[in-house]
Chain A
């Protein structure tokens, strides 16, 4: 397997459109790294530049220390799994996996060995004689993975490989890809727009927007310590609540006021706002739905951050309930215990866990404290 280095990588199309800007990233050997971001953020373009399917406008791409900017895709020792895969309908599973090797005139014995090894890894060894139409969706996807595995590449590149599968199968395949990474010990770059997929699969996640890296971190850190408003909003489902609030500093006490409500920030967070001279300025308060609660314990623990609101939406998820409400013109969500007595149209008291509050600069959208 291999390590990769992307230095100052840019992609500018002839019409002036900049798809990727100053992309800098070091990918360790055996790492499972995810590129995530909304559609058009440049994640697939970056992957295609690594693959050699897209020319690099400027910057340097190295695989195992060797610059590969001008190396042909087939000579880069990589394998790809793309979204719109298709199996050869008239070929057996064995032949489907062997096809690429046959075209490259790999000796028969070697092909057999490689296909059988890959089939064993993918638990396809009993299906090698079957045709694609006799396979389930998950098995077909595994065959597509098998076609990449038999190449024994240094790096696997996967561009939304699960997006054509139904929700149930996607969950199943997600687990299979994770275990495949363990078994192969491979370096994998995986592109997705689905943040759940990113959070569950990656050892590190690269969040992209408009061709610019927003943050590179572990799933846990991205969730708990987002660098900016975009990352905070993109990672997490339902997404983080945002609220414009005015910062008021009184000595060492910092209060964020929003409409009728207000919260007093804990000292560690307050210090950052004082240091940044935010007194009197409007900032963005961010809080995740699960950090807003209507339980008696929460109301007693966070007395300084209680506010009353009217429930405008109620969604029972099973063990939890999503309550929708509005504060100062902003639509908000709270994820509370399903035993809550609150129902649609009720007036409820909710409390924010002030330790979990994030504050962002309204102008730069960068995190002030989390």
Chain B
């Protein structure tokens, strides 16, 4: 529903130009916006006018105009003063209000159309028919999901809307309380780098302007309208997988999830079996913080002992001793590529299991 504030702004602007007072009523006679305080008796006159056959009428020193949308009465506009000039101003104002409403209705239609596509609520044949009606052409699009931590306010939506260069080609909408969705026409963005730059721009601008922590995930390119739903699911998965394996990143691309995506899709039973095969009963929970930091640093430096020791400010021999201690505890010599790979995957599986557990706990609490 278009806000009364927007109507008020429009009426005030017309009054500023024409110096003629105006008032807008709903089809039921409720005052929506006005540039002055209309008398109460006018309300009754508005209702009578609504029921009449006339399209415009002069009553109580005012010109009354009906504003129709697709053959249905939507609003009634009153232009105060009875002269020829007031009639003309009233007609112009009625035309303006009708155009504002039409534009809003079209926009809102498009928004709900895109929401339905995202949620998979439409048949393919309906998608094409409706798209034709709404003048939405086929183009390559990517869905960006902007996840807001904490309470989402209108600032986020407004900022994203205003950042979209081509609002006729891009769509900004919401389907839940936690995120804002941008369906972006990417005809002029040919590379993955450009998409990542777009995601980073969204994140940085929201951090700056809305001052809320956001994470942006995006899916792969959708060339056809029904594929937008797939791109949306991928963007959501990118955020989910990113939360488990790439916590430090605030922009995540589905295409760059790598092995994380594979692990994310493993069923818990398989994960448990894999961990038992790798570690037996000695799960690496037992490893202390210092050892875990050593391992992470060692992986970061591509298994280079000297560089890792230098970065950890420890002697090379100290690092070798720590690595041997890990081998003793886990049975994996992470200086060897095979073992290092196995350990890295196992660590990711553990992160995945931990995340699932923590995600399940609140749900269980709610059930209880």
CB distance from A51 to the nearest CB of B (A): 7
Which of A73-81, A112-120, A276-284, A348-356 is found at the contact surface with chain B? A73-81
Q: Is A136 an interface residue (CB 8 A)?
A: no
Determine the distance from Cα of A364 to Cα of B311 in the docked complex, in whole angstroms.
Answer: 11
Cβ–Cβ contact A85 & B204, under 8 A: yes
Q: Is B197 an interface residue (CB 8 A)?
A: yes
Q: Is A100 an interface residue (CB 8 A)?
A: yes
Determine the distance from Cα of A79 to Cα of B212 in the docked complex, in whole angstroms.
Answer: 12
Residue of chain B at shortest CB distance from A15: B351
Given the complex, which residues of B lie within 8 Å of A23, measured CB to CB?
A: none
Q: Is B245 an interface residue (CB 8 A)?
A: yes
Given the complex, which residues of A lie within 8 Å of B207, measured CB to CB?
A: 51, 53, 73, 80, 82
Determine the distance from Cα of A45 to Cα of B212 in the docked complex, in whole angstroms.
Answer: 15
Query: Can you list, as one digit per residue, whether each of B321-364 has a CB less than 8 Å from chain A (1) or not (0)?
Result: 00000000000000000000000000100010010000000000
Residue of chain B at shortest CB distance from A76: B211
Size of chain A's interface in residues, with CB distance under 8 A?
A: 37
Q: Is B109 an interface residue (CB 8 A)?
A: no
Determine the distance from Cα of A73 to Cα of B204 in the docked complex, in whole angstroms.
Answer: 14
Which of B78-86, B117-125, B155-163, B223-231 is found at the contact surface with chain A? B155-163
A-facing residues in B184-201 (Cβ within 8 Å): 197, 200-201
Query: Can you list, as one digit per residue, whether each of A261-305 has a CB less than 8 Å from chain B (1) or not (0)?
Result: 000000000000000000000000000000000000000000000
Which of B162, B201, B311, B351 gathers most chain A CB within 10 Å?
A: B162
Given the complex, which residues of A lie within 8 Å of B247, measured CB to CB?
A: 13-15, 17
Residue of chain A at shortest CB distance from B209: A100
Q: Is B136 an interface residue (CB 8 A)?
A: no
Which of B204, B247, B315 gathers most chain A CB within 10 Å?
A: B204
Cβ–Cβ contact A16 & B289, under 8 A: yes
CB distance from B88 to the nearest CB of A (A): 30
Cβ–Cβ contact A16 & B150, under 8 A: no
CB distance from A238 to the nearest CB of B (A): 22
Q: Looking at the complex, which one of A13, A18, A74, A89 makes contact with B165 (CB distance below 8 Å)?
A: A89
Q: Which residues of B contact A (CB under 8 A)?
A: 150, 154-155, 158-159, 162-163, 165, 197, 200-201, 203-205, 207-213, 245, 247-248, 289, 292-293, 296, 310-311, 313, 315, 347, 351, 354
Given the complex, which residues of B lie within 8 Å of A79, measured CB to CB?
A: 208
Name the 5 nearest CB pairs between A and B, nearest first.
A82-B204, A74-B211, A84-B204, A73-B211, A16-B292
Interface pairs (15), CB distance under 8 Å: A13-B247, A15-B247, A72-B150, A80-B207, A83-B200, A83-B204, A84-B200, A85-B208, A91-B162, A103-B155, A103-B159, A104-B155, A210-B311, A363-B315, A365-B313
Given the complex, which residues of A lie within 8 Å of B158, measured CB to CB?
A: 103
Given the complex, which residues of B lie within 8 Å of A18, measured CB to CB?
A: 293
Given the complex, which residues of A lie within 8 Å of B292, measured CB to CB?
A: 16
Given contacts A85-B204, A85-B205, A86-B201, 10 further A-B contacts (CB under 8 A): A15-B247, A19-B248, A51-B207, A73-B212, A74-B211, A80-B211, A84-B200, A147-B209, A148-B208, A210-B311
Q: Which residues of A contact B (CB under 8 A)?
A: 13-19, 45, 51-54, 72-74, 79-86, 88-91, 99-100, 103-104, 147-148, 210, 363-365
Cβ–Cβ contact A16 & B296, under 8 A: yes
Determine the distance from Cα of A305 to Cα of B26 in the docked complex, in whole angstroms.
Answer: 94
Cβ–Cβ contact B208 & A147, under 8 A: yes
Residue of chain A at shortest CB distance from B248: A13
Known: A15-B245, A17-B296. A86 touches B205 (CB 8 A): yes
Determine the distance from Cα of A215 to Cα of B213 in the docked complex, in whole angstroms.
Answer: 30
Determine the distance from Cα of A74 to Cα of B354 in the docked complex, in whole angstroms.
Answer: 32
Q: Looking at the complex, which one of A17, A53, A80, A88 makes contact with B163 (CB distance below 8 Å)?
A: A88
Given the complex, which residues of A lie within 8 Å of B200, measured CB to CB?
A: 83-84
Determine the distance from Cα of A91 to Cα of B245 in the docked complex, in whole angstroms.
Answer: 39
Given the complex, which residues of A lie within 8 Å of B347, measured CB to CB?
A: 15
Known: A84-B200, A86-B205. A53 touches B296 (CB 8 A): no
Residue of chain B at shortest CB distance from A21: B293
Determine the distance from Cα of A6 to Cα of B204 in the docked complex, in whole angstroms.
Answer: 24
Determine the distance from Cα of A203 to Cα of B206 in the docked complex, in whole angstroms.
Answer: 30
CB distance from B357 to the nearest CB of A (A): 12
CB distance from A188 to the nearest CB of B (A): 15
Which of B154, B209, B210 gathers most chain A CB within 10 Å?
A: B209
